[in-house]
Structure 1
Amino acid sequence: MKILIEDYGLVVNGKEQILKEDIVVYPKEYFCSTKWDTGEIIRNPLLYIIHYADGSWLSDEQKQAVKIKKCLKKLLGSKLGDLLGTAVVFAQIQGVKSTYYHGKNYVIRKVGNRLMKLISALYVNRKKIVFENFLGRGFGDNPKYIALELLNRKLNYDLVWIVNRGTSYIFPRGIRTVERGSFRELFELATARFWIDNTRKEEFIYKSEKQCYIQTWHGFVPLKKMEKDAIQTLSKDYISSAIHDGAMTDLMLSGCKIRTNLYNMSFWYDGEVKEWGSPRNDMFFKDFNYKEKVSDFFKIDSKYKTLLYAPTFRDDRSVTPYNIDFEKLIPTLQNKFGGEWRVLIRLHPNIADQCSFMKYSNTVINASSYDDIQELFAASDVLITDYSDCMFEFSLMRKPVFLYTPDLESYTKSRDFYRDFKSLPYPMADTNDNLRTLILDFDNKTYNDSLTIFFEEIGVLENGTASKSVVDYITSF
């Protein structure tokens, strides 16, 4: 589909089209004739072929599930039969407990909006703030640092954090948690004066005019195209939730001028943007020894210098590009920067479950499970990444950043960038030999001069006071 759209000019509208090289695309009505899950034949005047969809490609277990649904649909009608059939099949496969949770989530999605509307009309607690990070992932990112600022000031607010069931994150005293996808979550949201989130809230969530929604988002400098600029890659469900979330949002935060422009032009949002910076980047301007904290966690001596390797993920989950030869790289780092070195490998959460493919040792350490990557940034001396936005945040500290991009050509075909990737101010290598050469040839003054020009170009606004500004805003109400 992507090739047809980008290379041949396909418009995804379901209509007949003639593309480049005389490729003809016919509407689905020419071929779609049978509902495969019921066997019902759909008659229409455009039909050329009857496809008797028998589901012969299904496993025996899947065929049994289809039979159950067909039977219940005949007995109870299409909607009720499909709902009950899905529940029965799900219970067979996943068990009754899992079916209960999925059933509860279904009910919440159906009644959540009306229930929240009723509750918020009755009562909103002016001193309650509900936080969420990456759809319930845990205590982290921009919301974390706003919460810590509130706790440090010892302000009398009820702080609530939405987390996924079974989360292992440890929260500081003064923050209580609520399970994502529960009726309690709806209650906490409906009765809170403030919401703070870094991703989209789902379409059934309701916010009243008495409430304030601060959307921090989860990026600093935009590199890969997103939202309206990448609309062809987004699902209808995501677009619907993005429009809904944008309509609810009262305030967005920006750490640079080009992100402010992005919010105004490419997001489904036309509200206020505060150029206060990114709360998670405040730590780079603080006098705190994260080196000691991270070293203690990994049980390594803090005298060692640290290389952080933090690549992003590939859409096909390929791990082939992560082929840095650290045994040869460590002596290169020692030769260039002096001292003894340790390597921390932090994989993207989307592939962290595959972390065993890397070779670890006393000098090359698996750091993918470390809760807060910002602390790893602050504790590390050099960063190697590829296409991750983390390059920008790390370089706020004026520390060296190197890009290792052995698959640049194939990656750029799958992802669109806002700027020429090769114009970034970071030395870039596509082989291990080139990477070691770049490190040996690294000149700190040239690098810093390039950063200064780049930061001025994108309009960096970070100064370490973003969390303070957000909390000042909250306490002004």
Structure 2
Amino acid sequence: MKQQIKVVHFGICEMIMFVAVEGTVYDCDSQVKPRVLLWFDNGKEDRSFTLRLTDVQYDSEGRCRFQGGFYCFLDRIFWSTREANLPFTLHMDLICGGDRQKQVEFHLDHRDIIQRWNQYEVKVIGRNGFSFSPLHMEESMWERLRIRLKRARTHGLLLVGGIISLPWGIVELLASLFGIVLFEGKRRKVYEKKADRMPLTFSDRLFDKYNRILRRLKKAMLRIAYYGLCKFPKKEKSVAFVSQRNTSLEGNFKFVYNELKAKHPDVKVRPFLNTKTVERMTYRDIADFCKACAFSQVVLVDEYVPSMYTIKLKKSTKLIQLWHACGAFKTFGFSRIGRPGAPTQASKAHRNYDYVAVSSSNVRLWYAQGFGLPMRAIKATGVPRTDVFSDPDYAAQVRKEFYEQYPHLREKKILLFAPTFRGNGKESAYYPMEQFLPGKVYEALGGEYAILIKQHPFVREKMMIPETYKDHILDMSSFPEINDLLFVSDLVITDYSSLIFEASLLNLPMLFYVYDLVEYTRDRDFYFDFGPTVPGKKVFTQEELIQAIKEQDFEQEKVKPFAETYFDHLDGKSTERVVELIMEQL
């Protein structure tokens, strides 16, 4: 890959660094978008960011010209505060299609370097990097006093919060004995209004203020309980399963739990499966959460768990993320910095994981970037819940149970419609129902296919199904395991859902109904070039969708190579490898 990159601006003002580049990639396909990665490394921890490209242009001679920039807070790059004062380096990688060039050379005019009130000594390393050495400034007596007063105030607030919340805890505990959650109806109504950006009444605003105070008090109690329980010795090997997404062991958790019970019965399992946010937690919930985390050597999570950021786990406790999705498709987390709904660089979200289990070495880079973690934390063990795709007995059992429940579908082909959500997150998630009219699709296909609809869990609104078609168009959004629906499906229609990774393991034909591809790419973007990479045909209207199904035009030859790229292991032993990783920490 031939390229030229020029750093047109490089500046540091106090702790903020800004870099702007322009470059050219030669012999570049117009469907391929170049990506410039900024790599920071202090010898103990590394971290990458994707430089935001603001202008990408292609010409008739196969050249791609681009411009972009990025800024960050240098004191917030690395997670460990103990290593904040270590010297570190910065270099750039260039990715274009399947090619990746590490530590690319760049042109820099030293007159383009701006430094004001700088706390770092910056040097250019050859033609492919920068080195940063923090300038150690002596801490004044007043600064030391300020830090001590801040710590004293924090401890004082924790103590006062605990005393104030004790009477409330007694009232709440008594109410919970009768199955009553205080003010839950009002809380849900206020949350829904805020999510829909509706105006709040005076009583709503008053309750919202009360709810914030309650949240702070309960966070204080949670910290006190956790740090207190940590004083007790851990007498046995123990693993905690912590989820605020499900109330039962599902997905990866279920497979790992069963494997631990079967092969390591001496390991105590401590589940905390509770969908309540901190302010909704009862004092019993707080006690259960703290016991699970304080008495376990390993804590497993399967999603973003807000309560995990209220406490700081002991060094001896390892936090392992068993992320619910396979592969790396649309950008998430810190890869979206600068886009709507993205976390700030100062956010603690996801950055406290010790290890993350992923499906392939080809996605380690993107998970490290999305979670703000060093590469060494990302382990390509495989995803436990995909082991069922190597188990023919499990597949046969799923089909048997499905057709026992829906015997009238035996003579039909099954079309699974499973789109992802639109919006910036859980509170604003939606899908524009007018884009897919299941009754119209069913009629246009002559009743050959039964249609199963599986909305993303974030989408609250149900898709309207005409009464006439209720027997052959089923809303399966509440179905617990989407993988099981793949075993009975003959065709998958999706858009930007990570379901495509699991579907590829069964070599299922797929259609990508992407009516808003330009807007979605602009707002969310992908880790790879969507057009050349997705394992199926792209359609942009409902009419094109129906026509492709009628003509059986699925471009299915793309599916097998896609699966081989995004899964290192196709042996059905991912759960075993994850359990081995867990046992190494005990």
- Provide TM-score, normalisation by structure 1: 0.68
Cα offsets for 1:320-372 (capped at 9, x unmatched): 3233533235438x4xxxxxx42211111121x31143445100011011111
Q: Which moved more, 1:220-229 or 1:431-440?
A: 431-440
Is 2:586 aligned against 1:471?
no
Shift of residue 152, structure 1, vs aligned partner:
4.4
- Match of residue 38 from structure 1: none
Aligned to 2:487, what secondary structure does the other structure show? helix
CA distance in structure 2 between the aligned counterparts of 1:159 and 1:65, rounded to whole angstroms? 41
CA distance in structure 1 between the aligned counterparts of 2:360 and 2:401, rounded to whole angstroms? 29
Cα offsets for 1:58-106 (capped at 9, x unmatched): 97942x677xxxxxxxxxxxxxxxxxx658x75xxxxxxxx6xx76643
Cα offsets for 1:389-447 (capped at 9, x unmatched): 11121111111111122232333332212222222221121223322332344368x62
Cα offsets for 1:34-67 (capped at 9, x unmatched): xxxxxxxxxxxxxxxxxxxxxxxx97942x677x
The one-letter code of the counterpart of 1:467 is T
Aligned to 2:297, what secondary structure does the other structure show? strand
- Match of residue 304 from structure 2: 200
CA distance in structure 1 between the aligned counterparts of 2:403 and 2:325, rounded to whole angstroms? 27
Partners of 1:276 and 1:462 within 8 A in 2: no
Is 2:508 aligned against 1:393?
no
Corresponding residue to 1:382 among 478, 491, 510 = 491
Aligned to 2:351, what secondary structure does the other structure show? helix
Give 1:292-441 correspondences, 5 Å limit.
292-298=400-406, 300=408, 302=410, 304-315=412-423, 317=430, 318-324=432-438, 325-331=440-446, 334=448, 341-351=449-459, 353-359=460-466, 361-423=470-532, 424-441=534-551
Aligned to 1:109, what secondary structure does the other structure show? helix
- Match of residue 275 from structure 1: 380
- Match of residue 49 from structure 1: none
The one-letter code of the counterpart of 1:461 is H
Shift of residue 298, structure 1, vs aligned partner:
4.9
Corresponding residue to 1:213 among 316, 319, 340 = 319
The one-letter code of the counterpart of 1:309 is F
Is 2:237 aligned against 1:127?
yes
Shift of residue 293, structure 1, vs aligned partner:
2.5
RMSD: 3.6
What is the aligned length? 376
The one-letter code of the counterpart of 2:323 is W
Cα offsets for 1:233-270 (capped at 9, x unmatched): 4455795232xx423x2221110222112134443212
Cα offsets for 1:147-188 (capped at 9, x unmatched): 232344472443333333689xxxxxxxxxx99952321222
The one-letter code of the counterpart of 1:291 is R
Aligned to 2:446, what secondary structure does the other structure show? helix
- Pick closer, same or farther for the CA change 1:457–1:165 going to 2, 3 Å: closer
- Pick closer, same or farther for the CA change 1:126–1:261 going to 2, 3 Å: farther
- Match of residue 50 from structure 1: none
Partners of 1:198 and 1:215 within 8 A in 2: yes
Aligned to 1:357, what secondary structure does the other structure show? coil
- Pick closer, same or farther for the CA change 1:240–1:410 going to 2, 3 Å: closer
The one-letter code of the counterpart of 1:355 is K
- Pick closer, same or farther for the CA change 1:409–1:166 going to 2, 3 Å: closer
Corresponding residue to 2:335 among 229, 232, 246 = 229
- Pick closer, same or farther for the CA change 1:133–1:344 going to 2, 3 Å: farther
Structure ranking higher in helix proportion:
1
Partners of 2:436 and 2:542 within 8 A in 1: no
CA distance in structure 2 between the aligned counterparts of 1:372 and 1:395, rounded to whole angstroms? 17
- Pick closer, same or farther for the CA change 1:10–1:321 going to 2, 3 Å: farther
Is 2:268 aligned against 1:158?
yes
Q: Which runs of 5+ in 2 are unaligned?
A: 1-52, 56-67, 73-197
Give 1:232-271 correspondences, 5 Å limit.
232-233=338-339, 234=341, 240-242=347-349, 245-247=350-352, 249-270=353-374, 271=376
- Match of residue 255 from structure 2: 145
Aligned to 1:428, what secondary structure does the other structure show? strand
CA distance in structure 2 between the aligned counterparts of 1:252 and 1:280, rounded to whole angstroms? 15
Shift of residue 12, structure 1, vs aligned partner:
9.9
CA distance in structure 2 between the aligned counterparts of 1:239 and 1:196, rounded to whole angstroms? 24
Structure ranking higher in strand proportion:
2
Partners of 1:116 and 1:205 within 8 A in 2: yes
- Match of residue 218 from structure 2: 108
- Pick closer, same or farther for the CA change 1:197–1:298 going to 2, 3 Å: farther
- The share of aligned pairs that are identical, in percent, is 22
Partners of 2:386 and 2:572 within 8 A in 1: yes
Partners of 2:243 and 2:305 within 8 A in 1: no
Partners of 1:165 and 1:179 within 8 A in 2: no
